[in-house]
Amino acid sequence: MHRFAYRNGVLHAEDASLEAIASEVGTPFYCYSEATLREHLRAFEEAFAGLDVLIAYSVKANPNLAVIRVLASEGAGADVVSGGELRRALAAGVPAQKIVFSGVGKTREEMALALEEGIYQFNIESGPELDTLNEIAGSRGARAPIAVRINPDIAAGGHEKISTGRAADKFGVAWTRARELYVRAARMAGVEIKGVDIHIGSQISDLAPFRAAFEKVADVVKDLRTDGISIERIDIGGGLGISYGEGRDAPLTDDYAALIREIIAPLGVKIVVEPGRAIVGEAGVLVTRVLYDKENEWRRFLVLDAGMNDLIRPALYGSFHAFAPVRGPIDGASPVVVDIVGPVCESSDVFAKERALPVMRAGDLGVFMTAGAYGAALASQYNSRPLIPEVMVRGGRWAIIRKRPTFEQTIAAEPLPDWL
């Protein structure tokens, strides 16, 4: 569920008119509903009630400081995959003891920073990474809390490029070799084994891959305990899918939690869960303005001022986003079939093909729904287009939480060499 709805024919975010916001902020811009963020996090908390759980929000889904601050105020931790995300989480008010550091390529500097801050856990993805962390922690007289990320060789995810649990993927340690890595880690002075980690992909719309992965990780935990290695935590990752309005249902949070209660909870461990998209996806929209209604002999195009640099998911993954006018269509008006495209100089700058929509003309506002996850996070300044603003709404109030940079601010970061 989300808090975007029409009132008197105009789409609102909670009690704020998107039309009114656009008149002040300009387009395109992202808009987030604070109430939706809180409600989605609370849904996870309620689903896991009675279990010892750390909900570590996956910062990569949407790293805006205000978004993280809202979730931190509800008690969420953070799953980070870079030193920059770690600093963001801390700056937003997430306690270091609720931060999990994932990612296959942690640098020595990032490891040192995380150790100094005293984070909850490092998720180790390879033997060389384990050796490096052991060395860095040992040189500081510290012991780094670790879990090894198990790769269960299970295909899952809404697209090939967001499946992370197959044997050929770069992530994690093969589940058949994890035991030997744990035995080696147990002999190291600079690390302290705390748990096991698993994460098999993103936008997973079926619980079956989760079940298969959780059963494998449960077997690994039992084997490790047989070896005398204590396992007190299991990080089950994230990846729970959501509906983008494409006619496909997503698993319910309650059903996902029931699966974890069945397979993971009996192991008597603390559970770390890392939702990202499932919390922020429906909480955000991308508001854009029509530049042109263009026709040729074969197609009709709705050309927007938002481009693939602002929302790259359709170009990158072939992803679906529902699109609607901000000012509701006239009752009984016949739809037209259009390709929804942006202004970027690439043939891939297409949001949707042959989409039936109400007639929209130059100057009309439109909105891409379910754009809160991996929208602004993946944006770029391609074609020298500035990063677009982000806005957060609380009730009838709203605030800009990322400003649109001026051209002068953008080029100030590009000093010319003295020989030019």
pLDDT in tens, 140-165: 999 999 999 988 767 555 545 444 44
- The sign one gets for the Cα dihedral 107, 109, 112, 114 is negative
Cβ distance 393 to 33 under 8 Å? yes
- pLDDT, residue 160, reads 53
pLDDT in tens, 206-224: 888 889 889 989 999 999 9
- Given the residues 49, 168, 330, 345, the one annotated as active site: 345
Specify whether 31 is catalytic.
Answer: no
Q: Which residues contact 77 (CB under 8 A, 6 or more apart)?
A: 54, 55, 56, 57, 94, 95, 98, 99, 100, 120
Characterize the bridge pairing of strands 29-33 and 284-295: antiparallel
- pLDDT, residue 163, reads 46
- pLDDT, residue 157, reads 57
pLDDT in tens, 389-413: 999 999 999 999 999 999 999 999 9
Low-confidence ranges of the chain (pLDDT < 50): 159, 161-167
pLDDT in tens, 250-291: 778 999 999 999 999 999 999 999 999 999 999 999 999 999
pTM attached to this predicted model? 0.94
Residue entry with tokens 């998911």? 313
